[in-house]
Amino acid sequence: MLYYQNPFDQPYRVVYRITINTRTHTLTLFRDNNVFRTYPVAVGKSSTPTPRGTFRIINRVVNPGGPFGVRWLGLNVPNGDYGIHGTNNPSSIGKNISNGCIRMYNNNVIELSNLVSIGTVVNII
């Protein structure tokens, strides 16, 4: 007896992607190619700019501590250790002030971390 798999029996998988605009200091989360959330962020200062390009989330750390706030989402940026993370300095959000990472308010990075997975595409423009 042959069995054929019905593609409609498969659970629906939500696909997220992230675009970070360093000029407008925003992180936009897309869900199935539709804007789902937009968050304010801080990015790198002129001497340590946030790298531009397309990357992926490669790791996640809960409560990394210190300046990284309550979450760390590491990116596969060549020649550096960059990520999306919380902050212990909320007044920095909306500014060019980091060493190249993307800072978010802690409550926002918790929400983001709960939605995205390892492998999520991050486009930084």
Catalytic residue among 75, 101, 109, 116: 101
SS3 13: coil
101 is catalytic: yes
The sign of the torsion formed by the CA atoms of 91, 107, 82, 66 equals positive
Nearest to 124, CA basis, from 88, 92, 93, 83: 83
How far is 46 from 98, CA to CA, in rounded Å?
9
Residue 19's contacts (CB-CB under 8 Å, 6 or more residues apart) are 27, 28, 30, 122, 123, 124, 125
> Could you give the CA distance from residue 87 to residue 68 in angstroms, rounded to a whole number?
5
Among 17, 25, 71, 85, the active-site one is 85
Please say if 85 is a catalytic residue.
yes
Q: Which residues are catalytic?
A: 85, 101
